[in-house]
Structure 1
Amino acid sequence: MQTEDVASLTRRPDAAYPPARRRVIAIVASLAASLTLFRLELLKRLASAGHDVIAFAPEDDPRVEQALAEIGVRFIRIPMARTGLNPLEDIRTFWSLRQHFKRVKPDMIIPYTMKPIIYAGIAARTLGIKERCFLVTGLGHVFSEVGGRSFKALAIRHLCVRLYRMAFRRATVVFVYNDADAEDIRRYHMLPDAVSPTMVHGSGVDLEHFAFAQPTGGGPVFLMVARLLRDKGVVEYIEAARIVRRSFPDARFQLLGHFDSNPTAISREDINDWISEGILDYLGTTDDVRPYLVACNVFVLPSYYREGIPRSILEALATGRPVITTDLPGCRDTVEPGVNGMTVKPLDVMALADAMALFARDPDLSESMGRRSRELAEKKFDVHMINRVLLAGMGLTD
């Protein structure tokens, strides 16, 4: 199934799926919260179709467990270090998954993000689990243009390629979010040459939950929502904000996101310094980003991380906000430059500042481009439409 298949499917969120053989399905994630933030509608569909759905992830998160239980999905905690290359930790993850799979006997596994794909994929292969469906939400920073070309970086990339090949061997389907990931899968022969990855437009967004809202009046309010990592472009956002404030002192620059253990993490001291400087409104973290999207005029994500398709941008599109982001795989798939936003070169602070200044100079631009953002979300990123593509590719419709 190719990208154009998405547009041919009905978008009605209440359309029933045809019955499929009942299966035990294991969903494997690297972050428990992502199960409800990014996969809730898919999990609902699987459970409501009568499948026995079991979610695996690290961390104890009572709110996630409760939300999953309410839709009939079981949760099992596994050991997993989301970042880092400690082989002992990764072996522990692999062995834990293999032991759990032996016990619950899934008919199908659906892992997403790098470590779940690799270790759940290989564990399932060793147990003869034939239905293995992979969601490549991004191949990982090691495959990015800024991932580095040092001997260490290239060696890590080579190792990851070999592990991906082992996980993907005889896969039922491999979904990708953007052309760059599909091309890398082909370039590094992660799949047999005769097998192509299946394109989907990200994890999708619930267009009813993220309803369109007119931008508020007043001075421009720019909002960035992301994990607090340098790779997400936080520093460039701050530097561009300094430049824009010289000409537009009423402009506000907001940042919403949680601190991270990643080596490229932004520190609390950095955030406090920017607040003290008067350049940043740090909004902390939230379980509901909608009020912050409604209160902003423009959404900004200057990421140079190897994104799949950023969910934060999809939520901004659905709310009806123009987007400024980088001309990189995944990010650029959400913007038609000059129509619903702007793309800039990664790490280019002046280009980012110029794009933000354009909206500060012309307040009406936020409203007109924001409407086009909503239209794009309805056309390409409806979560119910995307889930139909996923379920068809997994063979879960008859």
Structure 2
Amino acid sequence: MNKASQSTTVSRKGKTVLYIANTDWYLFNFRKNLIKRASQEGWNVRLACGVSGYTTALAAEGWPVETLPLDSRGANPLREARALYKVIRLFRREQPDVAHLFTLKCVLYGCLAAPFSRNTRFVGALTGMGYLFTSNRLSVRLLKQLVIAMLRAGLKISQAHLIFQNEFDQQEFINQKLLPVERTSVIRGSGVDCEKFHPNNRVAPDDGKIRLLFCGRLISEKGIHDYLEATAKLREQGYTFDSKIAGQPYPGNPSSLSAEEVSALYDSETHTYLGHQDDMPALLAATDVVVLPTYYREGTPKVLLEAAAAGCILVTTTIPACEGLVERGVNGFYIEPRSCEQLADSLRRIIETDDADRQKMRTASRRIAITKFSDHQVNEATKELYEASPATAIR
């Protein structure tokens, strides 16, 4: 360790960073390397999250974990009041130097708790706007207005700095006058571990068929219906390929595949339905093309970052969340959202491409992942925000 890094570590010794997320799954799968890096650099790490099966794995890393009732889909006023109360108690007890809040609900509750943690630097990471910002249902629109009002108050109280994963979401918050541009940053996604996801792990197909993968929630906004329609059209035209679908339905979202539709996928002769997958490196190593025809208000789709690092060809949409992931015709194709015709055409072009040119496309995906989206770059940019002094806030 050089002298500069030694002095930095000493200056952080005794300082606490508190990470809050809806689920332990999110912290383990999306932010583990960031948390580990902060710990290695001398921060006292504390975690607080909802429970979904990964608490033990996080605690095994030596990080204390506080469980919180933070359900991203929760809308029961009494339960939400209880969750906010627990967040307030957590801040009052821990008094962290930095609080890093992930997802909209955690940003909202963490910022509202700011008066109880007076010397804390608040950093919020919005990983996407989700159903609240995409639905046209009257009940959801009314809830959105309430959330925006509470968020405006919380951001004013905490003087939080918000990280967005794309400029479109950033501009929406600025236009809503929720906070000034100087308290915002755009950092593309949570980054990808380019050692964990590597094309050297690729497993060639036994039958020579090109292997397609849809990986995401089984909701219309993620493009599952478009994928099913486009692949059916290709088969009708005589094209042969292997198709896998990984992901689960999203109960409570009216656009989710029904239980009957999921059952039909299990029995399908044209798709292999895998359900939820934990071992993404192995899944992507046995994949040639990752297809995500999404129009969901997300940040930057993690599966596309992992697929690029693993050397997969990408087909996705022109929404802001996917910007910069594809170079048209070089490592894949962009299509317009909800365009089954364009999706089928793009997949047909990849299927008809010879092996040598498809290898060039895989190599290009890897280059894009390393140069633009590695977790090392993302984590360094994120941790720079921790070093600023706590903003002067109204507390």
TM-score (norm 1): 0.88
Counterpart residue type for residue 287 of structure 2: C
Conserved 8 A contact 1:205-1:381:
yes
Secondary structure of residue in 1 paired with 2:65:
strand
Alignment partners' CA distance in 2, 1:132 and 1:279: 49
- 2:290 is aligned to 299
Identify unmatched segments of 5+ residues in structure 2.
390-395
Among 179, 183, 207, the alignment partner of 1:191 is 179
Alignment partners' CA distance in 2, 1:223 and 1:16: 45
Secondary structure of residue in 2 paired with 1:161:
helix
Following superposition, the deviation at residue 129 of structure 1 comes to 4.6
Among 323, 331, 336, the alignment partner of 1:345 is 336
- 1:208 is aligned to 195
Residue 87 of structure 1 pairs with residue 77 of structure 2? yes
Greater alpha carbon shift after TM alignment, 377-386 vs 231-240: 231-240
Following superposition, the deviation at residue 349 of structure 1 comes to 1.3
Alignment partners' CA distance in 1, 2:331 and 2:94: 47
Alignment partners' CA distance in 1, 2:231 and 2:371: 32
Residue 278 of structure 1 pairs with residue 269 of structure 2? yes
Counterpart residue type for residue 157 of structure 1: K
Alignment partners' CA distance in 2, 1:345 and 1:262: 27
Identify unmatched segments of 5+ residues in structure 1.
1-14
Q: Summarize deviations over 1:224-257 as a string: whole Å, max 9, x none.
A: 1112333211121111110111224421211112
Conserved 8 A contact 1:102-1:127:
yes
Following superposition, the deviation at residue 303 of structure 1 comes to 1.3
- 2:259 is aligned to 268
Alignment partners' CA distance in 1, 2:308 and 2:173: 28
- 2:361 is aligned to 369
- 1:33 is aligned to 25
Counterpart residue type for residue 279 of structure 2: D
- 1:76 is aligned to 66
**Counterpart mapping for 1:219-258 below 5 A:** 219-258=209-248
Counterpart residue type for residue 204 of structure 2: T
Alignment partners' CA distance in 2, 1:242 and 1:125: 56
Greater alpha carbon shift after TM alignment, 238-247 vs 357-366: 357-366
Secondary structure of residue in 2 paired with 1:138:
coil
- 2:393 is aligned to none
Conserved 8 A contact 2:96-2:117:
no
**Counterpart mapping for 1:17-28 below 5 A:** 18-19=8-9, 20-21=11-12, 22-28=14-20
Conserved 8 A contact 1:309-1:333:
no
Flag the 1:357–1:244 CA change in 2: closer, same or farther, 3 A: same
Secondary structure of residue in 1 paired with 2:125:
strand
Counterpart residue type for residue 187 of structure 1: N
Following superposition, the deviation at residue 308 of structure 1 comes to 0.2
Alignment partners' CA distance in 2, 1:288 and 1:392: 31
Following superposition, the deviation at residue 33 of structure 1 comes to 0.5
Following superposition, the deviation at residue 396 of structure 1 comes to 7.2
Alignment partners' CA distance in 2, 1:258 and 1:228: 6
Among 268, 281, 299, the alignment partner of 1:290 is 281
CA RMSD of aligned residues (A): 2.2
Among 97, 110, 114, the alignment partner of 1:107 is 97
Counterpart residue type for residue 80 of structure 1: L
Counterpart residue type for residue 216 of structure 1: A
- 2:127 is aligned to 137
Following superposition, the deviation at residue 100 of structure 1 comes to 1.8
Residue 58 of structure 1 pairs with residue 50 of structure 2? yes
Alignment partners' CA distance in 1, 2:26 and 2:100: 14
- 1:388 is aligned to 380
Secondary structure of residue in 1 paired with 2:8:
coil
Flag the 1:372–1:86 CA change in 2: closer, same or farther, 3 A: same
Secondary structure of residue in 2 paired with 1:165:
helix
Flag the 1:17–1:90 CA change in 2: closer, same or farther, 3 A: farther
Alignment partners' CA distance in 1, 2:278 and 2:203: 21
Conserved 8 A contact 1:109-1:124:
no
Following superposition, the deviation at residue 141 of structure 1 comes to 2.9
Alignment partners' CA distance in 1, 2:17 and 2:232: 49
Flag the 1:16–1:384 CA change in 2: closer, same or farther, 3 A: farther
Secondary structure of residue in 1 paired with 2:330:
coil
Identical aligned pairs, as a percentage? Answer: 28
Conserved 8 A contact 1:238-1:280:
no
Flag the 1:340–1:182 CA change in 2: closer, same or farther, 3 A: same
Conserved 8 A contact 2:314-2:331:
yes
Following superposition, the deviation at residue 342 of structure 1 comes to 1.0
Greater alpha carbon shift after TM alignment, 334-343 vs 298-307: 334-343
Question: Between Structure 1 and Structure 2, how many residues are aligned?
Answer: 377
Secondary structure of residue in 2 paired with 1:180:
helix
Residue 329 of structure 1 pairs with residue 320 of structure 2? yes
Alignment partners' CA distance in 2, 1:27 and 1:33: 13
- 2:166 is aligned to 178
Counterpart residue type for residue 305 of structure 1: Y
Conserved 8 A contact 1:125-1:167:
no
Secondary structure of residue in 2 paired with 1:283:
strand
Conserved 8 A contact 1:47-1:72:
no
Following superposition, the deviation at residue 111 of structure 1 comes to 0.7
Alignment partners' CA distance in 2, 1:215 and 1:358: 22
Following superposition, the deviation at residue 153 of structure 1 comes to 4.2
Greater alpha carbon shift after TM alignment, 332-341 vs 41-50: 332-341
Conserved 8 A contact 1:206-1:383:
yes
Residue 46 of structure 1 pairs with residue 71 of structure 2? no
Alignment partners' CA distance in 1, 2:342 and 2:223: 13
Counterpart residue type for residue 184 of structure 2: P
Greater alpha carbon shift after TM alignment, 294-303 vs 242-251: 242-251
Q: Summarize deviations over 1:53-85 as a string: whole Å, max 9, x none.
A: 111111252xx2233223321111111221143
Following superposition, the deviation at residue 30 of structure 1 comes to 0.9
